[in-house]
Structure 1
């Protein structure tokens, strides 16, 4: 089964992004993955574009190429980087880099695909923030840019609501992905303590996030916009230490 929908997923090569790609292929969408690496599998409706979203010029070119060849209906900005540091060691260059990948790349891609959405008077946009947007040790640049995504999404939601385009945010807590295990060693005591500190007593899985994205991105879900859903096992309600 195929659908008339085309989704752009950033960071689609691993973790949450890979799960999202699989989900939307199964739903019959045309899927465009923007990532530094490619997925280990292929499909006739899967287009893989290798690009480093930290590179502004490369991102601009990739976005233009997509807009020239596809009428995008859905956009999930999932790509991200953590780069943890205590305030004493944070570099301005880290803030600039995370601003580009979390905010700048989203703006560049959105500007490229927006004309097609406006023509159809339809669009679903989901930005991937983080529970860390509420504050977390060692996350100065990360939490600042992830919090910025929430404000940006609310602004876009207001600007685009009367054009059939919804914009929402999913904010994951600790999810078992390669990026998570770059920071926390798999099977370590630290991982076990973190899972125990979460109210539901487990770490999240990629499919937990995919279900939340699917809710916001459902073509029939036209009355929810400008919202942030924390998918974190209750961690956003209390104090979390990683």
Structure 2
């Protein structure tokens, strides 16, 4: 298979965590990948295309579309993974914090997806990375939870709007996953760790590869009739929450 005939995937936040695991998963399945992030130090040894860009920047969607167009083919897979945490209770959230979280976690996703849609044809697939915190209330994560709830609804809304073109739209909602973004909180915040791990029936912290494997399924032919879904990848936390 030549590069020109490979499916092309765009993965945002591809330099670490779930994004990096997804990049590796797609490469292993023979997909050509364009990875976008604020840095690319973990990508330099991988056989892919990469672009360093701040997704919150006004020109970010145009730069990414130009990079895709330069590869000489349309876009077959879009994985909207990039996101930031650090959320707090609403009373403790200043404008700077709210703007940072909303700009990256929600606004950038809508802008980039909108501008990528003209490059996508029938058979293409979009997967958004939501969160279990967007499905239920969880104290101390207001802005983050609201943006992830928005991603879940965006998934359903977009599926209703573009599926007639043969483009599927789904989302994954990770639970407690060990990533660079969650590592510090897992080590320092015992109440958070206990509330998440102690309420996960499988009794373990998830790995980025656990989420990447579901993303790999959703963009593949085996999921050709899966559309408009938000799939929890959380060891059962969302539906079976309990403490030992």
**Both proteins in one fold, TM over 0.5:** yes
The CA RMSD measured in Å over matched residues stands at 2.2
C-alpha contact 2:13 2:81 (8 A) present in aligned 1: yes
Q: Pick from 90, 94, 98: which aligns with 2:97? A: 94
Cα distance in 2 between the residues matched to 1:98 and 1:154: 21
For 1:53, the equivalent position in structure 2 comes to 55
Closer, same or farther in 2 for the Cα pair 1:151/1:240, shift >3 Å?
farther
C-alpha contact 1:18 1:39 (8 A) present in aligned 2: no
Q: Which secondary structure does the structure 1 equivalent of 2:151 belong to?
A: helix
Cα distance per residue 1:115-146 (max 9 Å; x no partner): 121xx322100000001112211110000000
Cα distance per residue 1:165-209 (max 9 Å; x no partner): 0000100001011001132227x8557634233111001011110
For 2:124, the equivalent position in structure 1 comes to 123
Q: Pick from 2, 5, 8: which aligns with 2:7? A: 5
Q: 42-51 or 77-86, which moves further after superposition?
A: 42-51
Cα distance in 2 between the residues matched to 1:178 and 1:58: 27
C-alpha contact 2:122 2:166 (8 A) present in aligned 1: yes
Q: Pick from 79, 88, 105: which aligns with 2:108? A: 105
For 2:208, the equivalent position in structure 1 comes to 206
Unaligned runs of 5+ residues in structure 1 are none
For 1:152, the equivalent position in structure 2 comes to 154
**Within the alignment, does 1:225 sit opposite 2:223 as a pair?**
no
Give the TM-score of the pair, scaled to structure 1.
Answer: 0.89
Q: Which runs of 4+ in 1 moved over 6 A?
A: none
For 2:70, the equivalent position in structure 1 comes to 69
Q: Which secondary structure does the structure 2 equivalent of 1:170 belong to?
A: strand
Cα distance in 1 between the residues matched to 2:170 and 2:84: 20
Closer, same or farther in 2 for the Cα pair 1:190/1:155, shift >3 Å?
same
* Residues 20-59 of structure 1 mapped to structure 2, 5 A cutoff: 20-42=22-44, 45-55=47-57, 57-59=58-60
Cα distance in 2 between the residues matched to 1:181 and 1:64: 33
For 2:87, the equivalent position in structure 1 comes to 84
Give the TM-score of the pair, scaled to structure 2.
Answer: 0.88
Q: Which secondary structure does the structure 2 equivalent of 1:197 belong to?
A: coil
C-alpha contact 1:52 1:58 (8 A) present in aligned 2: no
Q: How many residues align?
A: 237
Cα distance in 1 between the residues matched to 2:64 and 2:110: 10
Cα distance in 2 between the residues matched to 1:142 and 1:89: 13
Q: 105-114 or 159-168, which moves further after superposition?
A: 105-114
Q: 144-153 or 129-138, which moves further after superposition?
A: 129-138
Closer, same or farther in 2 for the Cα pair 1:150/1:167, shift >3 Å?
same
Q: Pick from 11, 19, 22: which aligns with 2:21? A: 19
